[in-house]
A and B are shown apart, each in its own frame.
Chain A
Amino acid sequence: MADIQYLEGKQPHAKEHRLIFRNVDRVGWNPSIDKYLEEGGYNQLIKAVKMERAAITNEVKASGLRGRGGAGFPTGVKWTFIPPTNTKPVYLICNADESEPGTFKDRYILHQDPHQLIEGMAISSYAVGAKLAYIYVREEFPEAAKILERAIDEAHEKGFLGQGICGTDFELEIYVHRGAGAYICGEETGLIESLEGKRPYPRIKPPYFPAALGLWMSPTIVNNVESLCHVKHIMEMGGEAYAKLGTPRNTGTRILCVSGDVQKPGYFEVQVGKVTLGELINDMCGGLKPGRKLKAVIPGGSSAKVLRADETFKVKQGDEMVELKIEDIPMDFDTLAACGSMAGSGGVIIMDDSRSMAWVLNNINSFYAHESCGQCTPCREGSLWMKKITDRIVRGEGTPDDVDTLESVAYNIDGRTICAFGEACAWPTESFIAKFREELVGTTKAENRGKLANPESKLAAAGLD
């Protein structure tokens, strides 16, 4: 990448490997199709439409690409779930509802490199047999929606969308569809309900796996923005070569978004599993703030279980069991799962020793209480109960029993709901209690009431949220 210049202060770190973010913060770059075409843009689509559809899916399977939205499910395998006997129209949906707290990667792709996404979507639509595709973009990205609409018009003018794409009989329309501020629309079946014009109540699986019964009860493939962009690079490199990036079962690159208590928060595209949490914090983000010690890390968006700085993790590496310290954890799907958390959406939130865990948990609980769609009773009631309990702990009105009550509420949501929001809202409470029980109970003790460590706590305690 020696020939690419990046904006002052935005140069990629030496440990980065940029595919998806190659053009982000690049000097002289803009989101126009002319710029995109200057460097071989849409060549992979031109190549793809001359291939057998199944051959593209096979490349994506061979690449080992795992969904970058949160679940980490193999993208190519997801595509093969469309029933072979299907006669209904097939739809492709790009999930651009980026809203998992701690995650801010799709924003930059949509704003700075929209054609990369459109090319990835066109290749993917061809592979799965879709003629109609949607980009479901969150309402809070109005600028992104405009940029995407302009990019779609440009792609139309150049013959990369519409009818007879690249001189073949492949046809495709892509429309931008704006959400309206609901986190649950990031859940794929909730997204589909929302796209259909309804409240986004997730559907139960089975039977409503989108690949079989999705949008308008037709087979529908829902993929994350970043995942669809990777498809373009898999076409360019070949599945096997792509699979050499990263580590086995955790292939390719992914964008890690770091926020919270580090010197330089930001986004870093790295080979999956090739960078440890310690390298990410200390080398790439410039370490913690002066005089501060690491206290906790949420490694994959706020739904991911919290890791405590001083715990050790027993994981299998190759054939042997090893004990890892927090800074030695490689940032890949399987290791983070083995550590009891998840790689999720790539949103890494760092907390230092100035943070009150009661306050952090309360902030997270407020989010989930606000965002529960209300369809399933355990989640609708439980998420609000959890918020109310941590609210009163933060206000200095907690009782020592509150932590046990909180734990029991969380375990009565987890596993009892239609969609994974139940786990997403229960896991923070479950894990904060498992890792920081003593501190949480301490916060509720009479002598400690009203003594939370950070100033924001006082504002929250004063009811300003």
Chain B
Amino acid sequence: MTISPELDKKADEAISHSPAEHKRAASLPLLHLLQHEFGYVSEDSVKWVADKLGLEPINILELVTFYPGFRQSAPGKFHIRVCRTLSCAMAGSYELMESLCKATNIDRSNTTHHNPIAVSPDGKFSIEFAECLASCGTGPVCMVNDDFHESIKPAEAAKLVEDYRANA
């Protein structure tokens, strides 16, 4: 794992946001930086963050395993999060999930609570259910990487996937 000088500088900037004696507060920001750079949080990333903040690796690993926003394995190039919670489910998010899986050729049958992400055979897409994405009035909603998509009818799922595939 190579940390570029730019990334290291961004990490220092994040650390500067809290008083010097409380730099542990930069744990989540640093994990976000590394996940953004490498796609997931590896064992090396955990060690790097711990070293950077003067902590034990377990102090960082326990965050990665707790917070649903951090992943320990590589997602697809486009990572899809479908809102599973009540208002979106009432608006059809389970059907949306089914349509997206079909369009991306993803099999979710082996996912579990601790391993919620399924990746497509070509590695281009991955998918998981997310809990309430806070756009209950425009359900069903999903995110593709940082892009937000609302009121997606299950029938529109294939087009959404094709649009990303075309840009891959």
Q: Contact residues of A with B, CB < 8 Å?
A: 98-104, 106-107, 132, 134, 138-143, 175, 177-183, 194-200, 216, 257-261, 265-267, 302, 347, 349, 351, 355, 360, 363-364, 366-367, 370-371, 373, 455-456, 459-460, 464-465
Number of interchain pairs (Cβ within 8 Å): 157
* Closest residue of B by beta carbon distance from A175: B17
Let me know if B103 is at the binding interface, CB within 8 A.
no
Q: B2-10, B72-80, B126-134, B158-166: which one contacts chain A?
A: B126-134
A260 touches B84 (CB 8 A): no
B148 contact from A143, A183, A367, A459, Cβ within 8 A: A143
The distance in angstroms between the C-alpha atoms of A455 and B66, with both chains bound, is 33
A residues near B131, Cβ cutoff 8 Å: 99, 101, 181, 183, 367, 370-371
Q: Across the interface, do B69 and A464 meet the contact criterion of CB distance under 8 Å?
A: no
Verify A182–B143 contact, CB threshold 8 A. no
Q: Known contacts A143-B146, A197-B26, A367-B86; is A455 also within 8 Å of B135 by CB?
A: no
B98→A100 contact, CB < 8 A: no
A182 to B90, Cβ gap below 8 A? no
Instruction: Across the A-B interface, give the 8 residue pairs with the lowest CB-CB distance, nearest first.
Output: A181-B69, A180-B69, A197-B27, A180-B67, A259-B136, A259-B87, A197-B24, A181-B68
Tell me if A364 and B63 are in contact (CB < 8 A). no
Q: Which residues from chain A contact B66 at a C-beta distance below 8 Å?
A: 182, 199-200, 373
Asked if B29 and A178 sit within 8 Å, CB to CB, the answer is: yes
Q: Is the CB of A349 within 8 A of B86?
A: yes
Considering residues B25, B26, B129, which has the most beta carbons from chain A within 10 angstroms of its beta carbon? B25
Bound form: Cα–Cα A455–B67 in Å: 31
Q: Closest approach, in angstroms, between the C-beta of B100 and any C-beta of chain A? A: 12
How far does the alpha carbon of A227 sit from the alpha carbon of B12 in the complex, in Å?
A: 32
Q: Return chain B residues, CB-CB under 8 Å to A200.
A: 66
Which residues of A are found within 8 Å of B93, using beta-carbon distances?
A: 456
Closest to A196 in B: B25
Q: Any chain A CB within 8 A of the CB of B11?
A: no
Contact B86 A102 (CB under 8 A): yes
A101→B130 CA distance, assembly (Å): 12
Interchain CB contact under 8 A, B113 and A106: no
Determine the residue in chain A with the shortest Cβ distance to B146: A142
Interface residue B28 (Cβ < 8 Å from any Cβ of A): yes
- Extra inter-chain contacts (10) besides given A140-B133, A367-B132, A465-B84, CB under 8 Å: A101-B136, A140-B69, A142-B146, A180-B28, A180-B68, A180-B70, A197-B26, A198-B59, A364-B86, A370-B131
Contacts of B17 in A (CB 8 A): 134, 175, 177
Check if B89 is an interface residue, CB within 8 A of chain A: yes
Nearest B residue to A370, CB-CB? B131
Assess the B87–A267 pair: CB atoms within 8 A.
no
Interface contact B29-A177, CB-CB below 8 Å: yes
* Cross-chain pairs A/B with CB under 8 angstroms, 29 sampled: A101-B85, A102-B132, A104-B137, A106-B134, A132-B19, A139-B32, A180-B32, A180-B69, A180-B70, A181-B68, A181-B130, A182-B69, A195-B25, A196-B24, A197-B25, A198-B63, A199-B62, A216-B22, A257-B136, A261-B90, A351-B90, A363-B84, A456-B89, A456-B92, A456-B94, A459-B98, A460-B89, A464-B94, A465-B84
